[in-house]
Each structure stands twice: as structure tokens, then as C-alpha cells.
Structure 1
Amino acid sequence: MDSVSNYELQLIYTQINREQDSVILIDYPYKANDSNYFYPASTVKLITAALTLEKLQNTQGIDLYTRFYVEGDSIETTFAHDILRIFAVSDNEANNRLFEFLGQDYINKKLKDKHISPVRISHRLSTPNAFEITTTPLIVYLNDTTITPIGPTINQPPVPLILNKITKGNSYYEDDHLLQEPFDFSLKNYFPLSTQLQVLKRIVFPELYKKEEQFNLGVKDREFLLKAMSTLPKELGYDVNDYYDGYGNFVMHGDNRNKIPENLKTFNKAGSAYGTLTDCAYIVDTKNDIEFILTATILVNKNGIFNDDQYEYETIGLPFLGQLGREIYKLELQRK
């Protein structure tokens, strides 16, 4: 903990207390600050998934299991399959297909309507057209023989963020050239820990929020989302040697390849990119009657160079988040 500032560590431990029919959540933040920017990476996929389910409920003629493809692409899929892949293996292409269905303006408006802030979603993930403001139409199958397009929509371009630590490091690679200046994140997605926690709480504990602040999900849609959030890669047929149980569960499990005990369930969406590891996880132990939320982010980029793939994920970041989760778990065991 002596060098916390070097790692830009932020975390929020949320204690969950159940009393009769009510749930009381108590947040314990450590250095969590909305004004101190970190790159959220794949954690934004939690928003994509929840709002896709909500929009499907309000779109006539299609549902979770409707087949579709993105115009100009050959991959045919369903909304359900893409949501499952988002959580099981953090599939960027699956996220981006759903992003075309939603669009930046729709996402940001829906979050604002639910009083979820601060947040700004501005781009797709790991694709050359990440910041394209015109979405690509989806071609959906209304039945086996009838298809129809959805979209496109034209969205507002992002305005640069003005936040602490919005530029990071001392240099970065772009097109194989090393540029001797800090990396600028001002046009990128912004999803601080407090907002990630707001989204997770609305999914797990919707009853704590006014109806207009909740995600508008039917009972089956919410059950599907929670199931997806806790799906392990092997449950979708992925090779456990490449996609081990803790692959997408940084807190408690990210630093080992052991099988996660069946009594431990994690409902989360983690993300890693630009040397930043983040997880927002609701963890349940059915055997010991334990539940808590841990939201944390850490930057591991010792040399200060971005896009060089020299990040200390395996040696510092994942071991820290794994042990952090286990220490909180021990604390919860003592509380019982």
C-alpha cells in the first residue's frame, strides 16, 4: 500500500445487510473519485447488455432470440448469444454488434433518464471504426424467410472530457511509432467506479430504486441477465486451458486457474486495457450465506509507455485484485 498513487488504485467495498424483508447497502470507498479518470475497458459491456435487453422489450417484432447480422458482415447471431459471450469471454465483436443496435446517443440518454451518472459512452471496442458516429444497420430475421433492417442512427461526436489524470504516462505507440507525449483519453469512454456500482445495484437490487431509475426489464429478462453475468466460459463450451474459470473474474479468482467452487457465484463485468484492470463484482457464497460487492480498479504500467503490451497484469494487477477479494471475503466470514 506504500505506492498506491503509482497504481491509481480506487476501490469501493459494499457491505450487504438483510433485515427481514429489506436490504441495506453500505459503501466503504477507498480513494474512489469520479474526477480521477481511469479507462473502463470492457466494464462498459454491462451497460450494453442491460440496455439491449431493455430496448428489445420495447421493440416490436424482435426478441432476445431473434437472429440478426450487421450489414456488411457475415456473422449471424442472436441477441442472447452475444450477451452471453460478452460476459463469458468478454467478446468485443459481440459488444460492438449490440452497440450498433443501440448507438451512443441512445445509451447516454437512457443512462441520464435513470439518473445514472457521471458516465459517457463514446465508442466501440478494439475496432478501426470505434468512434464512428453513424451506426451500421442490423439485418434482423422476422421469421425464416423475412428480413428487415434496423437503423442506422447518427449520433453526436464526443466532447473531450476534462478530468484529472485524463492524460497518462510519458509516451505511447501509434502505428508502430513511439510518440514522446502522454496518452490522451479525453475522447474515450468514461465509467467511474461509483457509476459502475450504480448500474450493478440496479440489476441486483432493483427494488432499492424508483421505477423510473431501474432498468425496464421483465422478470425473465432480468433472470437471463443475472445468469449471463455469472456464466463461466466452460458453460459456453470454451476450452478451460485458454478460458479458465477466473478468466473474467478478477476479484478473488483472477490470479489462479483453479476451478471456482460451486458455492461461490460472481455476478460481474471486468475489463482490462491500457494497463488498467477493473472489476465490479457482486459475490455470493451460498454455503456460508455471504454476499458483498467489490468494485476496484488498478493501473499497472510501470514504464509509463502505452500500447507497448508491457503491462504488469499477471505479476501485480491480477494478484492484487485476487487477494483483495479474498481478504474482503475473509472479513465477511468473520462478520458471520
Structure 2
Amino acid sequence: MWQRFALIGLLVLAASCSENTPAEPLEKVLSSQNPKIKNVMENLEEHEIQIRYTQIDRRNDSIIFTDYDFQVDENNYFYPASTVKFPAAVAALEKLNAIDSLSINTPFFVEGDSVKTTFGKAISEIFAVSDNAANNRLIEFLGQDDLNKRMQERGVSPIRIAHRLSTDNADDVTTKPLVFYLNDSTISLSQPIINSPIKPLDLNGIQKGKGFIADENYQEGPFNFSLKNYYPITAQNALLKRIIFPEAFPKEQRFNISDHQRDYLLTAMHTLPSDIGYDENEFYDSYVKFFMFGDNTEPMPEHIKIYNKVGYAYGTLTDCAYIQDTKNNVEFMLTATILVNDNHIFNDNTYEYEEIGIPFLAQLGRELYEIELRR
């Protein structure tokens, strides 16, 4: 127990408006006696938690962010999983905005792929159900180098998107050509993009666990994440702020997307799966919304909108969200990650997502929401 409170005492504040902002909100929540939080906090070393909670205040025409951090450290690695789809969607919109012949509604397919889609549909699928194939099509359009450069130029850093998700060519540094349908009679073929070789990351916790599964066989020793994607809490929060509140940033830190593109993106971020045709029994409202509602399958209240992107793989759960209650005039941001891998074996698909991880994130969101209601 003493370890638990000693670690809570290390809560680090990053307040954008004052260096002396009190630590009470996040500290109070993490001291909760609710077992969904308490059981995790009593085993902090196991769970590699990082949290950033952002209060939002509006004064005249200004937006003021106050960030509260717990164990946020860019040097402590966690696997970002599908959260990397958010920067892919933003970068794709920015690139589209610079090409006169293409738009969000342009039909296309990746050479060798049988699925014809549009950029808008791919973005909707990314946020509604976290579709891997939709994300990979955007990677083929962008290339990893261009994606990373666009993020870094706007102040979304550090970030290193190195690979696609759940596909045989995940690590291929050369993209596949895209076939665009410009009108009923005209098609266009893009050229392959050759990206930089993937260099190993040198970060704390880049090797995890005591063993892993490879080629259906157990391998002794830690699992090496050094060639995987890297997208820490600070960068995730930075991207979310720039998309939700672009006016709070200087022009050079705003993404060059049109109002129509941004509206489309924001709609996709909070749209529920059933709203775009997915079976609501399989893809319930909180299917990819962990904060507040992730631990139940009941319909979400209509007055609460969550603009977010989750990720879960290798036992790591992450959510990056802007939460808005239109009825009670509440808004805040929350980005958090937790590792749930009790047996310390990676890639075995035996993780405590439903038992520990999602309940923790859901309760974290609910308790911070209650603080916001009182605030």
C-alpha cells in the first residue's frame, strides 16, 4: 500500500497556464477506492500506466489547456496499436487537399487489392470500428516518411510510424501503387513511394515480458518492440488538440485541411458503428470508446459525444479522446494507456482486456467526468 501512495505522490503536472496549478483532480481519481481503479493502482509496475488529463477553459475568444500528467514519459515505450490511424487519417486529408484532381470522395483501390473504396469511407471505417485494412490503404497513399514529416512539421512529436497493421507486407518500405477513378472514363495510377529503412528505437521498456509466440512456437526471452510504431501520450494529445481546437495554435502548427475535411473528420471521430451500417449487436456503441462506457454494451447517451481513437494489441490498451457533454456544458480531454499481460508472454492473445484494462479506463473516464460536472 505504501508503494501505491508513494507513486501517486510522483504525479507530474504540466499546466499550460500556471506552473502552480494544484494536482488534486487526477491525484484524487487515482486514489479512488473503486476496485476498477484501486486494483490497478496497487500493481502499478505491472501495468505501465501513463495518463494525461486536460482541462479546457474558454475565456473570451481564448482556449486554455491545463494538463495533468501521471507517469507520462516519452522515453517509456508502449505499443500504440491502432491509435496511429488517427495521424494517418489527418495526413491523408492534408495530402488530398494539395492535389486538385483528388478529393475525399475519390474512388480508388490499391494495386493487387480487390476492394474499391473512397478516402472518406476509409476514414469512417478507421474511427467507427478501427478497420486495419482501411488504415493500410491510407499508408499506401502516404508512405511512412510523408506521414511522419507532416506530423512533425505541425508539432506532433515525437512520432515514428514504421509499419502497416496486421498484414503480410507490414514492414515493406515501398508502397503499392493506387488506382484512382477520376471520372467515369478516366483512371490514374500513382507511383510507388520508397521510404526510409526502419531503424531500431532506443527507449526504456522497448523489450517486454519473459517470452513470446513467433510462428506458432513459444520463444524464451523478452519481445522486442524496437522496430514497431512509436506514438507516445504527448504526441497523441498534441494531435487531438490541433484537430479539436485549431484556433488555439499558431498557423504553422495547424494542419492544412479544409473546413469541409475537418467537419468530416470530426463527424467520423464521434460517429457510432451502427450509424454507418454496422450490426449494433456486434459493434455496440462503445465498441471503440473505452472511456466512461467501455465496460458495458448499453447505448450511449445522445448528449455525450466522444471524439477519439483507441488502440489495443500485445496487451496494451490506449485511448485518446475529447469528451463533450452538450447538455451539461462539459468538455475535457483524456489520453491514457495501460498494459494488461499477467503471464508476461506477448503475442499469445492472452490478455486481461475485459477483466482489468477496459474497466480501468472506463472508470477513469467516469470519475474525471464527475469532477468536470462539479467544475
Q: TM-score, normalised by structure 2?
A: 0.88
1:4 to partner: Cα distance: 1.3
> 2 CA distance for matches of 1:263 and 1:112?
34
Matched, 1:226 2:266: yes
**Percent identical across equivalent pairs?**
56
Partner of 1:65: 105
Matched, 1:130 2:170: yes
> 2 CA distance for matches of 1:146 and 1:230?
35
2:372 to 323, 332, 335: 332
Partner of 1:237: 277
**CA offsets per residue over residues 298-317 of structure 1, 9 Å max, x none?**
00000000111110000000
In the alignment, is the contact (CA less than 8 A) between 2:55 and 2:66 conserved in 1? Answer: yes
Partner of 1:186: 226
Matched, 1:281 2:321: yes
Please list every run of at least 4 consecutive aligned residues from structure 1 whose deviation after the TM superposition is greater than 2 angstroms.
none
Partner of 2:298: 258
Partner of 2:208: 168
**CA offsets per residue over residues 64-105 of structure 1, 9 Å max, x none?**
000000001110000000000000000000000011000011
**CA offsets per residue over residues 273-318 of structure 1, 9 Å max, x none?**
0000000000000000000001000000000001111100000000
SS of aligned partner of 2:63 = strand
Taking only aligned residues, the RMSD between alpha carbons, in angstroms, comes to: 0.7
1:144 to partner: Cα distance: 1.1
> 2 CA distance for matches of 1:103 and 1:212?
22
In the alignment, is the contact (CA less than 8 A) between 1:64 and 1:80 conserved in 2? Answer: yes
> 1 CA distance for matches of 2:182 and 2:144?
25
Q: Which amino acid aligns with 1:75?
A: V
SS of aligned partner of 1:179 = strand
1:151 to partner: Cα distance: 2.2
1:308-319 equivalence runs, <5 A? 308-319=348-359
Aligned length: 335
SS of aligned partner of 1:333 = helix
1:107 to 147, 153, 175: 147
1:141 to partner: Cα distance: 0.4
Partner of 1:21: 61
Partner of 1:118: 158
2:187 to 121, 127, 147: 147
> 1 CA distance for matches of 2:184 and 2:114?
17
In the alignment, is the contact (CA less than 8 A) between 2:156 and 2:236 conserved in 1? Answer: no
Partner of 2:28: none
1:96 to 136, 147, 163: 136
Matched, 1:269 2:309: yes
**CA offsets per residue over residues 210-241 of structure 1, 9 Å max, x none?**
11111111111111110010111001111111
Matched, 1:34 2:74: yes
> 1 CA distance for matches of 2:64 and 2:140?
37
In the alignment, is the contact (CA less than 8 A) between 1:101 and 1:151 conserved in 2? Answer: no
Partner of 2:330: 290
**CA offsets per residue over residues 139-172 of structure 1, 9 Å max, x none?**
0001012111112110001110000000001000
In the alignment, is the contact (CA less than 8 A) between 1:138 and 1:150 conserved in 2? Answer: yes
Gaps of 5+ in 1: none
SS of aligned partner of 2:252 = helix
Deviates more, 1:320-329 or 1:206-215: 206-215
Partner of 2:257: 217
Partner of 1:3: 43
**CA offsets per residue over residues 220-275 of structure 1, 9 Å max, x none?**
11111100101110011111111010011011111110100000000010000000
Q: TM-score, normalised by structure 1?
A: 0.99
Matched, 1:304 2:344: yes
SS of aligned partner of 1:36 = coil
Q: Which amino acid aligns with 1:125?
A: L
SS of aligned partner of 1:318 = helix
SS of aligned partner of 2:283 = coil
Q: Which amino acid aligns with 2:353?
A: Y
